[in-house]
């Protein structure tokens, strides 16, 4: 998730269109500018744009690895993952729902056992392995949307040409949201009845002593909404839409929900990778050959700044004890649990 939610969070002025969400550009670091970066592009990268793509990819992968290691030194994470398959109990002959300008599917909502959706953990993610849609006819360009029910943001749109029968969309995606609605555009489709009878509960549980406990429950219901999403009507019918999914606990979720905390460490890590690109470039020009020592010095300076920022950040974070953090979660040993 870090590699996607932080992609282009910091920009490269002259390459990035507009101002990035963080308000920061890597060009703001001394020793980095558009003309010089263009000089280190190899035959595969072609231009500064290719260099930036490679640098950003490596930096985000490194940040992901470092977050897992450093957070694991302080917190013992429950990597609970209970897979749920909503099944294919479908009725294609009776109780059909006529085509209408609606999004039809199901809602996944995390809550605390009181049936009221509550943000129990900033570490929860909803992971979809696959989504499947039953069609009674050949259809072209049907949109299946994944929507954050709290922010009303469309997190993903899959477009699928449908054959008669079941159609699979291999998603393998994490969504750092507490409530997600998945629905397809039924404007030109009659929907078969697919009954969903039970809630999905007790995904994870932590009881530390006799005085308090922490529960994470998940409710899945059939649902539909207007095409311009503003909320759902819940029921037992998922209208031919089903999925294999699970709820997991990941440090990535905290990072993606608190991106501003990580912007300075990420900026310096991007600087490290840009200097690595310069040091190991196979281009032959003055910028690469004569100034290579200066690039190494800058890399060391950026690495030191990254280490300082990251250490201060990790030490300042106090993750609350919840259904994703083990009881007595503070770890005194320096051994990583990765």
Tens-digit pLDDT profile for residues 144-168: 999 999 999 999 999 999 999 999 9
Per-residue pLDDT for 219 more than 70? Answer: yes
What confidence category does residue 64 fall into, taking pLDDT thresholds of 50, 70 and 90?
very high
Please report the pLDDT score of residue 321 as a whole number.
Answer: 65
What confidence category does residue 10 fall into, taking pLDDT thresholds of 50, 70 and 90?
very high
Q: What is the CA radius of gyration of the chain?
A: 24
CATH 2.60.120 range(s) for the chain read 79-250
What confidence category does residue 335 fall into, taking pLDDT thresholds of 50, 70 and 90?
very low
CA distance 299 to 306: 10
DSSP category for residue 134: E
What is the fold, at CATH topology level, of the domain defined by 79-250?
Answer: Jelly Rolls (2.60.120)
pTM across the whole model: 0.72
CA distance 5 to 26: 17
Residue written as tokens 């159609």? Answer: 167
Residue written as tokens 């054959």? Answer: 163
Per-residue pLDDT for 247 more than 70? Answer: yes
CA-angle at 265, arms to 263 and 269, nearest 5°: 115
What confidence category does residue 209 fall into, taking pLDDT thresholds of 50, 70 and 90?
very low
Structure tokens at 252: 């990535």
Per-residue pLDDT for 285 more than 50? Answer: no
CA distance 325 to 127: 19
Q: Cα separations (Å) of 232 from 82, 183, 330?
A: 25, 10, 40
Q: Cα separations (Å) of 13 from 10, 52, 211, 271?
A: 10, 11, 54, 14
Per-residue pLDDT for 189 more than 50? Answer: yes
């Amino acid at each position: 998730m870090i590699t996607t939610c932080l992609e282009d969070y910091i920009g490269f002025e002259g390459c990035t269109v507009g101002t990035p969400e963080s308000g920061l550009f890597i060009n703001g670091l001394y020793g980095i500018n558009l003309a010089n970066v263009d000089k280190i592009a190899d035959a595969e990268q072609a231009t500064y744009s290719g260099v930036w793509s490679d640098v950003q990819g490596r930096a985000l992968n490194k940040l992901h690895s470092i977050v897992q290691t450093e957070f694991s030194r302080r917190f013992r994470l429950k990597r609970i993952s209970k897979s749920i398959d909503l099944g294919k109990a479908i009725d294609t002959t009776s109780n059909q729902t006529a085509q209408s300008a609606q999004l039809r599917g199901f809602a996944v909502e995390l809550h605390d056992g009181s049936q009221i959706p509550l943000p129990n953990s900033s570490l929860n993610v909803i992971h979809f392995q696959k989504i499947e849609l039953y069609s009674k006819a050949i259809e072209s360009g049907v949109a299946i949307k994944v929507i954050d029910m709290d922010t009303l943001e469309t997190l993903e749109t899959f477009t699928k040409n449908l054959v008669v029968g079941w159609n699979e969309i291999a998603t393998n995606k994490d969504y750092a949201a507490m409530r997600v609605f998945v629905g397809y555009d039924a404007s030109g489709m009659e929907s078969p009845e697919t009954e969903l009878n039970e809630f999905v509960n007790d995904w994870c549980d932590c009881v530390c002593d006799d005085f308090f406990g922490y529960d994470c429950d998940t409710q899945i219901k059939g649902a539909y909404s207007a095409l311009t999403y503003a909320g759902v009507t819940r029921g037992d019918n998922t209208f031919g839409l089903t999925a294999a999914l699970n709820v997991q606990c990941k440090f990535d979720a905290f990072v993606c929900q608190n991106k501003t905390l990580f912007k300075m460490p990420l900026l310096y890590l991007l600087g490290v990778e840009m200097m690595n690109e310069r040091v190991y470039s196979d281009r032959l020009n003055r910028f690469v050959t004569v100034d290579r020592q200066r690039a190494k010095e800058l890399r060391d300076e950026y690495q030191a700044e990254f280490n300082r920022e990251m250490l201060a950040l990790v030490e300042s974070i106090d993750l609350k004890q919840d259904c994703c953090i083990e009881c007595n979660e503070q770890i005194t040993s320096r051994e990583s649990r990765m």
